[in-house]
Structure 1
């Protein structure tokens, strides 16, 4: 049986009508490269052919009786591409504003859990492009696996087979209700026996963290972030914005300063957030703190599960006006944070997530939202910032060249903004998604990304 890992299942339990746990992507395509030209029906038929033998696209959830254990994946015997791929025309004049308004609306719609947990909306009328707005539930993918999954549907040439041609994945075995119930009971009874093996490394980690904190080499501590306008209880309405940065210019800054690409990205994001909040008279005196997802795919010893991530907390230097000084401070802090994060066992989050109980977890999340507790305790972190590596060469999606791919992650109660950056064929594509009540105009944030890149370049050149 293909049972969800505890971490995958946690994204199901965390979901409420306001806290939606799907990952979105806005893919801008050039249809002129399609060998036979673009038509919606041909596009959909081609897509159906490519996803038909990929389990992530053709499996659905099945609950264990009494929720005694995490759900399992089973093949959808009634899979119908028309339930997942839809066609829309962009309102006139078909520009940036119309596109982000439409995609923001689509991002705020829940997904039907009785079917495979993905959707694609083919949007026509955006300049001379075709746009695909995709949604996949976080129980199915994380940042890295989501990027790989899209790549598996792509080819290196317009008329070439997909990158994954010849590969075939098998669906997990289904099971009868009695077997599911029996395995659920066994899992519930034996789970407490695993606790001692988790407590020992966790206790050692606490001791090491205290030592790092005393030495000043620990990552930023959660619950120590300043409160901002986007740190409260969220609603289901979403706003979206996107921008582009030249990857070669970011790499040139990396080479000139000895920092990493991630350091430069976080420095630019910190500067953009500083100016956004300063413009509104809401810039805190202490620096904002981001939760940064970190892939542990190479280090994990767990074979099952789609989500193989940990996280580190990074201060964004929003209290520092000079961009080069901000980069230097963040580069040093990020080295310490990365060393601290790497000292945490790769499977720690996945192992503890196995104890997430469906009913208890769901009730706790709904109570947390209903009581608006995010506004009453210290801020855990201000936002999520993620940097996902993408393809270094042009890719073709159903024969259409991918001009841009803007990733959009979930937002949470208490952290109503998510910034995700993905590299693609020499560009860094920046996607911002926010709860509408937290950030009504995210374009006022993304417009500062290019400005901050220029400021950092000028500061490096001046030195």
Structure 2
């Protein structure tokens, strides 16, 4: 049995009736690559059961401490019930993209049962009319509580249930799953008291390690060397969320994203994605006559896992605050300003220390936090106080080699995230096999037209790619001109030399 960290537990405390705090994904598979040319639902259940021992989170249940005197624990409860956690549905005809997005939104809106391991999978068949995908594909919608994983650990869990080839064999023995005994009421109380006694020592240790970084940060802010993001505008995404969700996504060639990145010096893939989202937000809010004069601001999670922590579940993230420059219409100028902003944000994060906030999060008061969050939601405080961010934009790079699930090849992979009160728009960025995706999860009241926002993302990308191509062409053109001038100069010199030789020869001939 292991205790949740303060950061992991905070996602339990942040959960309200309208804001389930799970994250997940939507993957699309082609079953024709399987050994028999098809994949059965029973085969999928057997495959996940067989690998359950590789992923602790699939078998762990939550153990609450009485009176919430301390953070909860994870207890291995043995083999999970596959018929409860893995479910099977199908889209009605025609089985198009819009239907899949609506179904994924409805599934994502439902909270997880805290009495069981905090995850679910839904196999969705009937994807017969989605452009770019062969008929007969199926989708996998996965959900797991944010208290158990973050984006990086989610990728590691996905790798545990996937293969690198379509060859799949269910006949091998299932991995072993350990079962923890259930702790008594008094044992949990006793553990909480011991942790309470140790807390001052832990606070002192964390403070000792972080004071130099905080001092450096305050000095940098005072001298103007470091800059904080302030004056964050209020938008339709910064109110209380409803219990209803919407989802959509766009997919680009990763090579096009890289060509935009390479068109200007010091630009990163993250900068390009932020600029695309900034342009889309500008177009979307402009169409509603709601575009603020100041730029919208995104919260960008940062993975702070060390090498020793790789392969572990849970959350190891800090955060950056960046402007997406929705106040700038020109795509290239927006990209340059985004790059400048992310550079400033990185300097500030490095000065503080990326792990500082995660270190302090372990001291989140378990007794009061959940009650405070519920009161915050009930009183609609998100509608009254100044927003800290306008949206979330998180990038979790994926593998660039094909993955197979029970023999079926993964064709695409999209992200699902949790819209919350005060920040009801979530962008999940990802890459897989030469594709780059931007997925959008939001509240239906805030974004009743997710397909239009997806179009805004596509148009923003198209404009940025076109402008970046022109910049690249301008770089190449002067080089060609210089080469051409050098070639012309060389040709002229050769002509003059030849003329002089001709004249000399003529004179000699005349004299003779």
Q: TM-score, normalised by structure 1?
A: 0.93
Among candidates 411, 415, 434, match of residue 426 of structure 1: 434
Structure 2 match to 1:27: 27
Q: Deviations over 1:39-60 (max 9, x none)?
A: 2222222222222452110111
Establish whether residue 296 from structure 1 lines up as the match of residue 297 from structure 2.
Answer: no
Q: How many residues align?
A: 460
- In structure 2, what is the Cα distance between the partners aligned to 1:302 and 1:412? 28
Among candidates 133, 140, 147, match of residue 139 of structure 1: 147
Structure 2 match to 1:96: 97
- In structure 1, what is the Cα distance between the partners aligned to 2:31 and 2:79? 31
- In structure 1, what is the Cα distance between the partners aligned to 2:225 and 2:108? 39
Shift of 1:7: 0.7
For the 8 Å contact 1:103–1:240, the answer to whether it is kept is: yes
- In structure 2, what is the Cα distance between the partners aligned to 1:302 and 1:423? 19
Shift of 1:235: 1.5
Structure 2 match to 1:58: 59
- In structure 1, what is the Cα distance between the partners aligned to 2:308 and 2:49? 33
Structure 2 match to 1:393: 401
Q: Deviations over 1:224-252 (max 9, x none)?
A: 31011111011211110111011011111
Secondary structure of the structure 1 residue equivalent to 2:110: coil
The more displaced of 246-255 and 206-215 is 206-215
The more displaced of 336-345 and 239-248 is 336-345
Structure 2 match to 1:360: 368
Secondary structure of the structure 2 residue equivalent to 1:122: strand
- In structure 2, what is the Cα distance between the partners aligned to 1:133 and 1:237? 17
Structure 1 match to 2:481: none
Shift of 1:447: 1.3
**Distance change in 2, residues 1:285/1:271 (3 Å):** same
Secondary structure of the structure 2 residue equivalent to 1:110: coil
- In structure 2, what is the Cα distance between the partners aligned to 1:305 and 1:176? 26
For the 8 Å contact 1:300–1:346, the answer to whether it is kept is: no
Structure 2 match to 1:40: 41
For the 8 Å contact 1:26–1:406, the answer to whether it is kept is: yes
For the 8 Å contact 1:19–1:412, the answer to whether it is kept is: yes
Shift of 1:283: 0.6
Q: Deviations over 1:365-384 (max 9, x none)?
A: 01101111111111110000
For the 8 Å contact 1:24–1:407, the answer to whether it is kept is: yes
Structure 2 match to 1:272: 280
**Distance change in 2, residues 1:144/1:42 (3 Å):** same
Among candidates 458, 470, 484, match of residue 462 of structure 1: 470
- Greater fraction of residues in helix: 2
The more displaced of 98-107 and 444-453 is 444-453
Among candidates 274, 280, 285, match of residue 293 of structure 2: 285
- In structure 2, what is the Cα distance between the partners aligned to 1:35 and 1:78? 27
For the 8 Å contact 1:381–1:415, the answer to whether it is kept is: yes
Secondary structure of the structure 1 residue equivalent to 2:70: coil
For the 8 Å contact 1:300–1:308, the answer to whether it is kept is: no
Q: Deviations over 1:126-178 (max 9, x none)?
A: 1221001100000110000001111111111011579xx99988677764443
**Distance change in 2, residues 1:267/1:169 (3 Å):** farther
Structure 2 match to 1:239: 246
Shift of 1:302: 11
- In structure 2, what is the Cα distance between the partners aligned to 1:225 and 1:169? 48
For the 8 Å contact 2:108–2:416, the answer to whether it is kept is: no
The more displaced of 5-14 and 69-78 is 69-78
Task: Return 5+ residue gaps in structure 1 as ranges.
Answer: none
Secondary structure of the structure 2 residue equivalent to 1:140: coil
The more displaced of 58-67 and 342-351 is 342-351
- In structure 1, what is the Cα distance between the partners aligned to 2:73 and 2:387? 35
The more displaced of 145-154 and 71-80 is 71-80
Matches within 5 A, 1:23-422: 23-36=23-36, 37-77=38-78, 79-127=80-128, 128=135, 129-159=137-167, 175-199=183-207, 204-214=212-222, 216-218=224-226, 220-221=228-229, 224-258=231-265, 259-298=267-306, 306-422=314-430
For the 8 Å contact 2:301–2:394, the answer to whether it is kept is: yes
For the 8 Å contact 2:298–2:322, the answer to whether it is kept is: yes
Shift of 1:106: 0.8
- In structure 1, what is the Cα distance between the partners aligned to 2:372 and 2:261? 43
Shift of 1:211: 3.6
For the 8 Å contact 2:95–2:126, the answer to whether it is kept is: yes
Secondary structure of the structure 2 residue equivalent to 1:354: helix
Task: Return 5+ residue gaps in structure 2 as ranges.
Answer: 129-134, 472-512
Secondary structure of the structure 2 residue equivalent to 1:195: helix
- In structure 1, what is the Cα distance between the partners aligned to 2:312 and 2:408? 33
For the 8 Å contact 2:61–2:116, the answer to whether it is kept is: yes
Establish whether residue 7 from structure 1 lines up as the match of residue 7 from structure 2.
Answer: yes
Q: TM-score, normalised by structure 2?
A: 0.85
**Distance change in 2, residues 1:169/1:308 (3 Å):** farther
